[in-house]
Amino acid sequence: MGSQYEGYKSPLSTRYASQEMQFLFSDQYKFSTWRKLWVFLAKAECSLGLEISEAQISEMEKEIYNIDFDAVAEEERLTRHDVMAHVHIFAKQCPTAAPVIHLGATSCFVGDNTDLIVLRDALQLLLPRIASVVSQLKQFAETYKDQPTLGFTHLQPAQLTTVGKRACLWIQDLLMDERALSRCQQDLRFRGVKGTTGTQASFLQLFNGDGKKVKQLDQLVTELAGFKKAYAVTGQTYTRKVDVEVVAALSSLGTSIHKMCSDLRILASRKELEEPFESTQIGSSAMPYKRNPMRSERCCALARHLITLFSNAANTHATQWLERTLDDSANRRITLSEAFLSADAALLTLLNISQGLVVYPKVIERHISQELPFMSTENIIMAMVKAGGDRQICHEKIRVLSQEAGAQVKQHGKDNDLVDRVRKDPYFAPILNQLDNILDARTFIGRASDQVEEFVAEEVEPVLARYADALKTVKDVKLNI
């Protein structure tokens, strides 16, 4: 019925996010993980003395990836329960193991534990992406650590910095994101086997009141799933505070990406810097000459959506009454997947940008020449004082010349001619041979170059060292659209 183009598809899957991240949030990954969890549970229960045979476990293992999604969908239409639909179909495929599938468990055993596995694996996928961007920006910062450029405060020209030093500001934010997401990954635990309201009552019954075995069961399943620890207490679900922490870190990453790409868009407008632009790329349908920063704009768009998702996670946790409510389910299906898919897509785009940034030093130098004369006035005064001049007289001379030059710029749209006015004024004759040095942009950048070197050595390299193997395999990113 109908064409594939007649239903909604998320642009995160059709245009932006990687296949690897999409797979982690796919039905195949989700429901095969459910089946793995049922196998883990059976193995652990068997090892602790319940009557579960190796043949039953082997039968289940063979069918982990063989999911009949059509049959499951039909079953769910009858049962109106997704977990039981999968239990029934899995049981039909594993008739010998059917009596022990999902033994003692509640729906959240597979639902919540699978979510935690997905969160863990998705974080593992994102962290090297951040490191890859940092690695590229590190190289950029080192290349341009000595390139003077106008700094800006209030989006108005301020003291000079360097192109490389500015890139370090972007890197610093991303390092904070790497730290936050690493902490989320390290802090992440498993729900384990906790029963319907977290009391483990059903498992205590299975083991005839042997609480020690129930505790062992919890730890065994946790370890089989690849976690060191489970949350010590849960309601029916693991606390949604976990989602708040993870999505908060992802949203924070979104702010870093948005800030950096906003800077790139401003610099592109000034023609000082440009993101990669392919030979066949079209900037505008109406204006053929344009080279729009569409990649940076895409990053900002995705990052802005990512930032907004935090409120969903926060409000969901805030409204989980007592041991749980079900109004988290539909929201989390959207929020968790879109948070990771958006972060993934934005990082891939940012990596593409950082692999091909182009700097235009001559444009930067021209912009500096328009502002530096005003910034150099204090240095000119100091030079005159050293040459025997009176500071107050010199200040007034410079003030008048500066106002005249400013009028040429603002009222007549001409270039800043303050230096020419200084050269023509006999008062400044004692320092004319020093003017070129006084106006050398490199003397206005302070310790910017040294700061880049120190920052890279002390802050960046130790983080990148943890991702050395992953960074060896990074390839140039080609965006599909």
Please say whether the beta carbons of 182 and 462 come within 8 A.
Answer: no
Cα 415–chain centre separation: 42
Interatomic CA distance for residues 129 and 347, integer angstroms: 6
| Phi and psi, residue 159, nearest 5° | -55, 150
**Parallel, antiparallel or unpaired: strands 358-359 and 273-274:** antiparallel
Cβ–Cβ contacts within 10 Å for residue 466, how many? 14
In three-state secondary structure terms, 80 is: coil
Cβ 138 vs Cβ 464: under 8 Å: yes
SS3 (DSSP) at 152? strand
List, by residue number, the catalytic residues: 154, 284
Per-residue burial over 264-282, b if 16 or more Cβ lie within 10 Å, else e, is bbebbeeebbbbbeeeeee
147 in Cβ contact with 163 (< 8 Å): yes
Contacts with 420 (C-beta within 8 Å, 6 or more apart), sequence order: none
In the block, tokens 């969890």 appear at: 37
Q: In the numeric block, which tokens belong to residue 468?
A: 């050395």
**273 in the Ramachandran plot: left (φ > 0), alpha (ψ -120 to 50) or beta?**
beta
DSSP-derived secondary structure for 379-391: HHHHHHHHTT--H
CA-based angle 79:96:113, to the nearest 5? 55
Task: Record the tokens describing residue 98, joined without a space.
Answer: 């059917």
Rounded Cα distance, 307 and 185, in Å? 20
What is the SS3 assignment for 196? coil
CA-wise closest residue to 179 among 470, 479, 469, 463: 463
